[in-house]
Amino acid sequence: MREYMPYGEEAPFIKAGPFKIRLPFIHYRFEVADYIQGLLMCAVCLGAIPLLQDALNMPFEVALAVVILNGFLYTWHTLLGDPVVPGWITPAIPLLTAYCLTFPAGHARMQGLVAFEITLGIFAILLGLTGVAGKIIGVIPPAIKSGIILGAGISAITMIFKEGGKFEMMPYTTAICLIVAFYLLFSNGFKRLSTKNKMWETIANLGILPAVLIAVIVAPIVGESAWPHIEFGFSNPDFHTLWTDWVPWGAVGWPAPIMFVKAIPTVLAIYIVLFGDVVQSKALVHDADIARDDETIDYNPNRAHLIFGIRNTIMGVIGPDITMCGPLWAAMQVVVCERYKKGRRSMQSLFGGAASFRFGTFTGYWLLPILTLVQPILSVALALTMIVQGFVSVRIGVQQSQSFKDLGIAGVIAGALLVKGSAFGLVIGVLACLLCYGKDFLKGDTTFGHLWSAEVEVMTKESGNLEADEEVA
* Contact call for residues 278 and 127 (beta carbons, < 8 A): no
pLDDT in tens, 309-355: 999 999 999 999 988 999 998 778 888 998 899 888 889 999 999 99
Percent above pLDDT 70 for the chain: 92
Tell me the pLDDT of the chain (473 aa) as tens digits: 456 667 888 989 999 999 999 999 899 999 998 999 898 888 778 878 877 888 899 998 999 999 999 999 999 999 999 999 999 887 778 778 888 888 998 999 999 999 999 999 999 999 999 988 877 767 778 888 888 878 878 877 887 888 887 888 899 999 999 999 888 888 888 878 877 777 887 777 677 778 888 999 999 999 998 898 889 999 999 999 999 999 999 999 999 999 999 888 888 878 877 887 888 898 889 989 998 888 999 999 999 999 999 999 999 999 999 889 999 987 788 889 988 998 888 899 999 999 999 999 999 999 999 888 887 887 888 788 778 878 877 887 888 888 888 889 999 988 887 887 767 787 888 899 889 888 877 777 766 555 555 555 555 555 444 444 433 33
pLDDT in tens, 45-83: 887 887 788 889 999 899 999 999 999 999 999 999 999
**SS3 track for the chain:** CCCCCCCCECCCCEEECCEEECCECCCECCCHHHHHHHHHHHHHHCCHHHHHHHHHCCCHHHHHHHHHHHHHHHCHHHHHCCCCCCCCCHHHHHHHHHHHCCCCCCHHHHHHHHHHHHHHHHHHHHHHHHCHHHHHHHHCCHHHHHHHHHHHHHHHHHHHHCCCCHHHHCHHHHHHHHHHHHHHHHCHHHHHHHHHCHHHHHHHHCCCHHHHHHHHHHHHHCCCCCCCCCCCCECCCCHHHHHHHCCCCCCCCCCCHHHHHHHHHHHHHHHHHHHHHHHHHHHHHHHHHHHCCCECCCCCHHHHHHHHHHHHHHHHHHCCCCCCCCCCCHHHHHHHHHHHCCCCCCCCCHHHHHHHHHHHHHHHCCEHHHHHHHHHHHHHHHHHHHHHHHHHHHHHHHHHCCCHHHHHHHHHHHHHHHHHCHHHHHHHHHHHHHHHHHHHCCCCCCCCHHHHHHHHHHHHHHHHCHHHHHHHC
Which neighbouring-strand residues pair with 21? 14
